[in-house]
Amino acid sequence: MKISKKSSAGSLESSDLMVYLEPMDTIKVEAVSSVSTSQHQKEIEALVKKELKKAGISGAYVKVQDNGALNLTIKARLKTAISRGIE
């Protein structure tokens, strides 16, 4: 399954994140975080890739703007964005 249209979920409030999805043939993930380190941003990217795989998504360009979200919030926002991004 691939993302078929642009979508997003979340907010820029503290403890939240914005997830932006765009159609793409392969998987590409970019995360930036306002509260934590570049090391942790890599962890977010790994988490997103794992969740995409679980959801059976093989094509998506994912951008994450993190504002200190817990992993469970990252997963929830990604799930919402995916369901909004597939027709």
Nearer to other proteins, 25 or 34 (CB): 34
Interaction site with other proteins (CB under 8 A): 9-11, 13-16, 35-40, 42-43, 67-73, 75-77, 79-80, 83-84
Nearest partner of 79 among 14, 7, 4, 11, judged by Cα: 7
CB of 82 to other proteins, least distance (A): 10
CB of 66 to other proteins, least distance (A): 9
CA angle 24–30–31, rounded 5-degree value:
145
CB of 70 to other proteins, least distance (A): 5
Nearer to other proteins, 49 or 79 (CB): 79
Nearest partner of 11 among 73, 83, 84, judged by Cα: 73
Residue 66 · residue 12 · CB < 8 Å: no
